[in-house]
């Protein structure tokens, strides 16, 4: 169901994504000794908020404690990113501290794979806190660290993909800092690892348009419409259609 939610969100089928994770919450009989259920139940609502850029909704997500610290870290990451991008870095920093504590629990348990995954979440969240505090250089250092760590690792089979790819978030950050040509490089690098992502296509198209690369802007906006043009209405899809109509 988490894989299905992920797919629906790339197609802008937001209503179907919401129905899927609402149904997942009603299921009983999952094995508490396995991480599969707790991971999915934490990931689905976080994906639903983050993929759609619903930052305030992300900041209000409530973590559900489980036997698996990395599942709780997903919710705190979504909360931190949501708060930072809603202009509340102080609240975001509290979630960053919780992510750090969860990483330390995983270190003590010698769960090295998840230590690295949670460290990526911590660095990425810390980067957006720094950006919200107008510390652009510090933000980019942290975000690049997160992306570099993630690039060296394959995703765990438990998940269809990270909540948001770190290198895609680096592209977002460079766009925020009015550096679209650099952002385009990062979006394209992210697309090579995780193709056909709605946010990645939109970000690359925006970066290309802002840096004067009309061919790449056209190509990415066209792919976005091909992927999600029949999905639920989103502002990004509307903008893509306006760009294609005028260019």
State how far the Cα of 134 lies from the Cα of 232, in Å rounded to an integer. 34
pLDDT for residue 134 is more than 90: yes
**What is the band of 156 on the pLDDT scale with cuts at 50, 70, 90?**
confident
- CA distances, 224 to each of 96, 114, 203 (Å): 32, 32, 10
Maximum CA extent, the chain: 57
Please state the rounded mean pLDDT for residues 224-241: 96
108-115 long-range contacts (CB < 8 A, ≥24 apart) are 111/70, 113/153, 113/156, 114/69, 114/70
**H-type alpha helices, 63-88:** 69-85
pLDDT for residue 141 is more than 90: yes
Q: Which class is domain 165-247?
A: mainly alpha
Higher per-residue pLDDT: 147 or 112: 147
pLDDT for residue 136 is more than 80: yes
State how far the Cα of 218 lies from the Cα of 205, in Å rounded to an integer. 7
Provide the 8-state DSSP code for 67.
S
| Domain at 1-154: CATH code | 1.25.40
- pLDDT 10s digits, 96-118: 999 999 999 999 999 988 999 99
pLDDT score for 31: 82
pLDDT for residue 32 is more than 80: no
CB contact set of 134 (below 8 Å; sequence gap of 6+): none
State how far the Cα of 117 lies from the Cα of 190, in Å rounded to an integer. 17
* Lowest-confidence segment of 46-50, 95-99, 150-154, 167-171 by average pLDDT: 150-154
What end-to-end distance do the CA atoms of the chain give, in Å? 39
**What is the band of 28 on the pLDDT scale with cuts at 50, 70, 90?**
confident
The percent of residues above 70 in pLDDT, for the chain, comes to 100
pLDDT score for 30: 79
pLDDT score for 174: 98
**What is the band of 181 on the pLDDT scale with cuts at 50, 70, 90?**
very high
pLDDT score for 204: 98
Domain ranges for the chain:
1-154, 165-247
């Amino acid at each position: 169901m988490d894989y299905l939610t992920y797919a629906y969100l790339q197609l802008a089928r937001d209503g179907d994504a919401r129905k899927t994770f609402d149904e997942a919450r009603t299921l009983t009989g999952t094995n508490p000794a396995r991480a599969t259920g707790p991971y999915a139940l934490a990931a689905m609502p976080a994906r639903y908020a983050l993929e759609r850029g619903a930052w305030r909704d992300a900041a209000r997500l409530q973590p559900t404690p489980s036997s698996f610290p990395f599942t709780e870290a997903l919710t705190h990451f979504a909360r931190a990113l949501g708060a930072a991008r809603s202009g509340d870095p102080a609240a975001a920093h509290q979630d960053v501290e919780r992510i750090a504590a969860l990483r330390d629990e995983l270190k003590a348990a010698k769960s090295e794979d998840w230590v690295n995954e949670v460290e990526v979440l911590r660095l990425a969240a810390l980067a957006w806190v720094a950006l919200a505090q107008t510390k652009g250089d510090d933000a980019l250092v942290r975000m690049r660290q997160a992306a570099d760590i993630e690039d060296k690792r394959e995703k765990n089979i438990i998940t269809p993909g990270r909540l948001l790819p770190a290198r895609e978030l680096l592209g977002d950050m460079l766009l925020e800092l009015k550096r679209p040509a650099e952002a385009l490089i990062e979006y394209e690098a992210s697309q090579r690892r995780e193709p056909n992502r709605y946010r990645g296509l939109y970000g690359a198209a925006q970066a290309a348009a802002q840096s004067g690369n009309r061919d790449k802007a056209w190509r990415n906006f066209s792919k976005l419409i091909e992927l999600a043009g029949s999905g639920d209405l989103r502002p990004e899809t509307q903008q893509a259609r306006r760009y294609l109509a005028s260019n």
